[in-house]
Amino acid sequence: MKPHLLPKYAELNRALQNTTLKLHASQVHGIICGVLCGHAKHTSAWEDLISGGKASAKTHELLQNLYDKSAKQLSDFLFEFQLLLPIDKEELRARAEALSLWCQGFLTGLKLVRIEIVNREPSEMTEAINDLIEIAKMNYEEVVASEEDEEAYAELVEYIRMAVILIYQEGLDAATRSQSSSLSQHIH
Query: Following DSSP, what letter does each residue of the chain receive, concatenated?
Result: --TTPPPPHHHHHHHHTTSSS---HHHHHHHHHHHHHTT-SS--HHHHHHHTT---HHHHHHHHHHHHHHHHHHHTT-TT-------TTS-HHHHHHHHHHHHHHHHHHHHHTT---SSPPSSHHHHHHHHHHHHHT--GGG----HHHHHHHHHHHHHHHHHHHHHHHHHHHHHHHHHHHHHHHHH-
Q: What is the pTM of this model?
A: 0.89
Residue 4 domain flag? no
Domain that holds residue 32: 9-187
* CATH number for the domain harbouring residue 92: 1.20.120.740
Residue 60 domain flag? yes
Residue 109 domain flag? yes
Per-residue pLDDT of the chain (188 residues; tens, 9 = 90+): 355 688 899 999 999 988 888 899 999 999 999 999 988 766 677 888 888 777 788 888 999 999 999 999 998 866 778 999 999 999 999 999 999 999 999 999 999 988 989 888 999 999 999 999 999 998 888 888 889 989 999 999 999 999 999 999 988 877 666 555 554 554 54
